[in-house]
A and B are shown apart, each in its own frame.
Chain A
Amino acid sequence: MKERLEELRNEALEKVKKAENVKELQDVRVSYLGKKGPITEVLRGMGKLPAEERPIIGQLANEVRESIAKSIEEKQTQLEKEALEKQLREETIDVTLPGRPNTVGGPHLLTKLIQEIEDLFIGMGFEVAEGPEVESDYYNFEALNLPKGHPARDMQDSFYITEEILMRTHTSPVQARTMEKHEGKGPVKIICPGKVYRRDTDDATHSHQFTQIEGLYVDKNVRMSDLKGVLNTFAKKMFGEDREIRLRPSFFPFTEPSVEMDISCKMCHGEGCSVCKGTGWIEILGAGMVHPNVLRMAGFDPDEYNGFAFGMGPERIAMLKYGVDDIRHFYINDVRFLKQFHHA
């Protein structure tokens, strides 16, 4: 009987091994381990055995049963796994097909630049100040040392609405208004971004509406070298650490001394090329020490306080930094333009 059991075991294991699917495996289970199966039959015939052999055969029969069952189970797991693998392979998709679009929009280039500049100056302790775009002649001109009839008013032909009210021609009135609010006490440390308007015919380089960012720092003992240091920090952060700045004397009615700041040309590194018109330098902004008349009119004592101011045009900076070739792009909103600057 012992031999018979071993024989059954080998036979069954062989069949398990050969089973190709769950059904065949099931057949093996039924035929060998079922109630009518050969092992049961062997056990039934155990009565004929001597008593001392019975437990040995019984144990062996159980062992055979278990090893067959175990092998079936293992095989079953293996077959199921294979079946699953097969099924998954049938579920293969084309990973190269396009995904469901998750469209994000993005900022306008001017907003992006203005925020970048704001953040740069916030980092240097400035606050962002805003003011009306429709201004009084007083804040737009007079408070900035540009009395009526001043020849420099020619420089900025303006959109008047009435004799006393106009579209602001620069964001400087925000400086005057902010200083007034401080009632003669410093420090005032602001930058003023915003829209401004001038009587220009729109073309590739002129726009009747554009933006400006001006900065103002009024305190005790402000030095022109501070202005140079702050502008240098700004220029390097904004345009690259390898860029140099230079200040050139200039004239603005609201600052004295007045300067213009150039940065070294990115293209030629100061050698001179077509981008910088051969000079090696590119004009970026105007600046200067706040004119005592401006301080006085805004309620500050020029003997106690002084300050610096600067102003720049984000459109111009965008045109330089990104090579935009026509200022009208900023106001037409061609999505093919807008989307070029959406990347983080």
Chain B
Amino acid sequence: MLVSINWLKQYIDLDDITPEELAEKITKSGIEVDSARPIVDQIKKVVVGYVKSCEKHPNADKLNLCQVDVGDEELQIICGAPNVQAGQKVAVAKPGARLPGGMKIKKTKLRGVESQGMICSLQELGIDDKFVQKEFVDGIFVFPDDVEVGEDAIKLLNLNDTILELELTPNRSDCLSMIGVAYEVAAILGKDLKLPEVLIDSMNEDAADYVQVKVENPELNPYYGAFIIKNIQVGPSPLWMQNRLIAAGIRPINNVVDITNYVLLEYGQPLHAFDYDRFGSKEVVIRTAKKDEKIQTLDDEERTLKEDHLVITNGKEPVAIAGVMGGADSEVSQETTTVLLEAAYFDPQTVRKGSKDHQLRSEASIRFEKGVDPKRVKEAGLRACQLLEQYAGGKVLSGVVEFNELEVIENVVEFSSDQINQVLGTNISKGEMEEIIARLRFDYEHKGEGFKVIVPTRRGDVSIVEDMVEEIARIYGYDRLPYTLPEGTGHAGRLTEQQQLKRNIHRYLQGSGLNESWTYSLTTRKRSGLLVSPEVKALNPVPVKLAMPMSEAHSHLRLSLLPELLASLQYNIARKQADLALYELGSVYINRKKGLISLPEEQLRIAGALTGLWMNHPWQKETKAVDFYVVKGILEGLFDYIHLNGVQFEADEVEGMHPGRCAVLKVNGETFGFLGQLHPSLQNEYDLKDTYVFDINLEKILEHMDKVEQFVPIPRYPSVSQDLAFVVSEQVSSSDILEVIKDAGGSYLQKVDVFDVYQGEHMEKGKKSIAYRLLFQNPEATLTDEEVDQARENIITSVKEKFHAELRG
């Protein structure tokens, strides 16, 4: 909402406050003022001049040489505008004048002839093209005859105004009108309010003889008032009205249209003027549209209507889309002499539907959508009649032809002053509260220790005690609220187990050299099904697509964090960042039913993607590229850190992964993720070199984690270590051998580590050697050689037997 300070001054005395101060006060009291700016930039010394004569410039065809009387002197001005003529009253920038944009006017010579100033167009005076009356768009502005020569044109054209731009929240539609803003400002400043008085000289003729009103859907149109105004002379509206429309961002058209727009701005009530003679009947019928019914609207578009659109008809065909836009056929024109003026209350949602479907958001529809003040509908119609009488020569017929089932509800709110003070934490006296209510111009009675407030209909947003708390608080001032802290029972806050686990995982992975990343949850259809962990895939998830995505790139819910994480690698590599280790902790969304009937299961996962060098210390020849075992080591460390014991890495194939370099993760027999190298063809798709990834299910970790931490005595007896190397087929996996060793090693076998793997020269083809270091320890006593030898023998025998292994040298 654009608010002209000059206009506002008609209702309230604002002489003792600057626009900036006012803006600040309005903002602090609840309505954000986006800006307070002069209607045009710095402008001075522009006056009304009378063009006494206008002749062709002796040396230029397209220029005119004008003698202009500006009151105290006569100036010779050269003007290029096509519409300049002798006898016009025009805006003259005298030498020494300044125009918006910083232009300074000086005496100058044009083609050998002196020019002592400039005759201005509205654009040159700083008015935007789109607000300039059509007849003046391509030339200079011409004043009506009744202005005085030498008068200050800046004042006459309202170019000394300041415009406040209000950012209205949806509840404050009352301020979509100048009167509403005046009420608000009067309450904030505690000032008197002077509102327009509506007085009409009605004719003897009855409007009812000219028109009937029939409403077929009262719930969508509870009030419709039709006024008839005869004797209309269409022409320009008065300058002050045009100025105010321009200040509010509306282009003046003619007096009839300008008056309906003016009342819309003043009362917040949209009106529509039909040309009575072109209306097509003597009957206004309001009904819902028929399927595929058509209407040609004012903007010359043919529009197809739907059954839930409300239309105004002449009994036969639609003449307007209710609250949205009028039809072209019954539009007011230069020839109009009788006007049928509509003042109505349309159902907000119906108007919203219509304006949305036709993509027509007008000043009218915006107001209907928010719900207009039911008490001001008819009054606004009368106000327009008054103005048509004053400024369009109109004669108003007696009576309003109306349909009226509009329920006018005045909200009543009762409260005690204690109640208000309790909620705010304040000690506002009853007297001060009363003053605030009075300033808001709400009706009230004293009731016990408090008030019974009757809320005016213009403030439909105030209906419960809490609303009154806000009204009182905002006028009282939030600055004056004390700072306190909750007095409620002591309450300790802490993280849940899962939240703590998440933080621990972050800490570990970051400490291990990985950078936390955040990617979008919404991805492409293709990526949503890529690199899905086997245990998720086993659930047969059905892709979830947005009903109306903004783009294909963000159209589907992800089932894995990896595809977008890989895109982040790709982004970095394209920017010459070669060694990368990223991870993300976030949700995937698993929908198991066709069509989304219930909410998808959201599963927290943690995924990482690594490429390039893991360690780069070239001058000491220590450089290590990321490989499977780097990633595995990170995960093993993680599981150790968070107490997840017994994790198994099983070779397996996962779609999108290198078939020979991939393992699924299992704990207690349950799969909970995977790791390995990306399939080279997928690497290619992302422009990546060898890239290793992992993806694990955080909820499964929580489920299987060892949550008890208990002290274990430090061993007091020495341990014995033994090395064993076996030659086995290269098909045999190390973990299988390990299992057998652990089984056969007896209770003193504490730890088994692989310390060497060999394959190649001096080794039979298809065979490999794996060397293990065994650590034996008896917590109760020193181990004897016999005990160790026995265990060692058992291990050798078992491994030989199970894997056709040979003990190596």
Docked-complex contact B513 and A104, CB < 8 angstroms? yes
The proximity string for A residues 194-225 relative to B, scoring 1 for CB distances below 8 Å and 0 otherwise, is 01010111000000110000000101111111
A246 contacts the other chain (CB 8 A): yes
Is A151 part of the contact surface with B, judged by Cβ < 8 Å? Answer: yes
A101: chain B residues at CB < 8 Å are 615-617
Given A100-B622, A228-B481, A248–B32 Cβ distance below 8 Å? yes
Within the complex, the shortest CB–CB distance from B103 to chain A, in Å, comes to 26
Main secondary structure of the interface of A (DSSP, over half): mixed
Contact call B369/A151, Cβ cutoff below 8 A = yes
Interface string of B540-559 (1 = CB under 8 A from A): 00001111111000100100
Whose C-beta in chain A lies nearest to the C-beta of B485?
A: A229
Judged by a CB distance under 8 angstroms, whether A45 is at the interface is no
For residue B485, which residues in chain A have a CB less than 8 angstroms away from its CB? 226, 229-230, 233
- Find out whether the CB atom of B491 lies under 8 angstroms from the CB atom of A189: yes
Q: Return chain B residues, CB-CB under 8 Å to A162.
A: 547, 595-596
- Given A105-B515, A256-B464, A291-B466, are A132 and B599 also a contact pair (CB < 8 Å)? yes
Inter-chain CA distance A110–B585, complex, in Å, is 12
User: Whole-angstrom distance between the alpha carbons of A250 and B170 in the complex?
Assistant: 10
Q: How far is the CB of B168 from chain A (nearest CB, A)?
A: 9
Complex Cα gap A121–B499 (Å):
15
In the bound assembly, the distance between CA atoms of A89 and B495 in angstroms comes to 56
Q: Mark B724-752, 1 if CB is under 8 A from A, else 0.
A: 00000000000000000000000000000
Given A134-B602, A251-B169, A258 contacting B470 (CB threshold 8 A)? yes
Residue A107 is within 8 A (CB to CB) of chain B in the complex = yes
Q: Which A residues between 112 and 143 are near B, CB-CB below 8 angstroms?
A: 115, 118, 121-128, 130, 132-136
Flag if B575 contacts A334 (CB, 8 Å): yes
Known A-B contacts A128-B495, A162-B547; the reply to A250 vs B169 at CB < 8 A is yes
A246 to B24, CA, bound (A): 13
A333 at the interface (CB under 8 A from B): yes
**Is there contact, CB below 8 Å, between A221 and B478?**
no
Known A128-B495, A161-B546, A232-B483; judge A338-B170 contact (CB<8 A): no
Number of residue pairs A-B, CB distance < 8 angstroms: 252
B656 shortest CB reach to chain A, Å: 20
**B511 close to A (CB within 8 Å):** yes
Taking CB atoms, residues of chain B closer than 8 Å to A338 are 515-517
Total count of chain A residues near the partner, CB < 8 A = 87
The residue in chain B whose Cβ has the minimal distance to the Cβ of A190 is B493
Q: Is A103 an interface residue (CB 8 A)?
A: yes
Most chain B beta carbons < 10 A, residue from A125, A246, A339: A125
B290 to chain A, nearest CB (A): 24
Q: Do A225 and B425 have beta carbons less than 8 Å apart?
A: yes
Please give the distance in Å from A260's CB to the nearest CB on chain B. 8
B304 at the interface (CB under 8 A from A): no
Q: Could you say which of A97, A107, A155, A342 contacts B170, with CB atoms under 8 Å apart? A: A155
**Beta-carbon contact of A151 and B470 below 8 Å:** no
> What residues of B have a CB within 8 angstroms of the CB of A121 in the complex?
493
Complex interface: stretch among B193-201, B334-342, B502-510: B502-510
Cβ of A323 < 8 Å from any Cβ of B? no
CB-defined contacts of A291 to chain B, threshold 8 Å: 466
Known: A187-B488, A208-B522, A257-B470. A105 touches B496 (CB 8 A): no
Q: A105-B513, A248-B28 are in contact. List 15 more A-B contacts (CB 8 A).
A: A105-B510, A105-B516, A105-B581, A106-B515, A118-B495, A128-B499, A133-B587, A151-B170, A223-B423, A223-B484, A224-B425, A225-B481, A256-B466, A289-B423, A335-B580
Please list the residues of chain B having a beta carbon within 8 angstroms of any beta carbon in chain A: 27-30, 32, 169-172, 348-349, 352, 369-370, 422-426, 464, 466-467, 469-470, 473-474, 478-479, 481-496, 499, 503, 506, 509-522, 544-550, 554, 557, 565, 568, 571-572, 575, 577, 580-583, 586-587, 589, 595-596, 599-600, 602, 615-617, 619-620, 622
Which 10 A-B pairs rank lowest in CB-CB distance, beginning with the nearest? A225-B425, A257-B470, A223-B425, A249-B30, A251-B169, A333-B568, A247-B478, A256-B466, A122-B493, A333-B517
